Amino acid sequence: MRIELSVRDQLISTYGKQLAKLGDKADRALARAMNHTGRKARTQVRRALATQTGLARKTIVKAVREVRAKPQSLSYILRTRGGDISLKYFKPRETRAGVTAAPFGKRQLFAGTFVKGGRFPGRVTLDMGGHVYRNIEGGKWGGRVELVDSGVVIPEQLVTGATARSWEHLIASDLVPRVGHELKRILSK
């Protein structure tokens, strides 16, 4: 999944004469403007995505990558991939009733799940990577467990809610003025 920034008709109508005057250098100016604005938008998207999903910012930074615009391909892309994220990444805490974790930034109880083994209160950490599990055999220990996921899918969250609005708002407010800045910079040389 990705969100993309590309040249719009608005740029042509606003800066058409300057772009025509620059010729081949126009693509370089547009790529610089798109990369500058795209990096600013990437920062806002990462912040919004961390809040929206409940994931740590460092996890979001690893998950959301950029593909910068080049004069040959005037397109700035934020790219991410992946599926349903394990509850391990949402600060799980074990209680008698199950594990609590905070997907989507809201702590909730996942009844019948566990991170540790043994009887309360002397439970011990299992060597299972910190993941949250549920017994498959109807609550009884049968030796079979399943991994419990959070329902958070970063690619879906990237293009919805506050994250998508932060991208669209920054691009709408900053891209056209930044193109003007880059054109002025090249034309003044």
Percent of the chain having pLDDT more than 70? Answer: 92
pLDDT digits (tens, 9 = 90+) for 130-145: 999 998 876 566 678 8
pLDDT digits (tens, 9 = 90+) for 161-172: 999 999 999 988
- Report the distance separating Cα 88 and Cα 4, nearest Å: 30
pTM for the complete prediction?
0.84
Of 85, 82, 84, 4, nearest in space to 45 by CA: 4
- Report the distance separating Cα 59 and Cα 152, nearest Å: 13
pLDDT digits (tens, 9 = 90+) for 99-155: 999 999 999 999 989 999 888 888 998 888 999 999 887 656 667 889 999 999 999
Element containing residue 67 per DSSP (H, E): strand 65-67
CA–CA–CA angle 126, 140, 107 (5° rounding): 60
3-state secondary structure of 71: coil
What values do phi and psi take at 73, rounded to 5?
-135, 100
On whether the CB atoms of residues 22 and 11 are closer than 8 A, the answer is no
Per-residue pLDDT, 186: 87
Q: What is the dihedral angle through the alpha carbons of 139, 145, 150, 152, rounded to the nearest 10 degrees? A: -150
- Report the distance separating Cα 67 and Cα 2, nearest Å: 10
pLDDT tier at 20, thresholds 50, 70, 90: confident
> Distance between the two ends of the chain, CA-based, in angstroms?
40
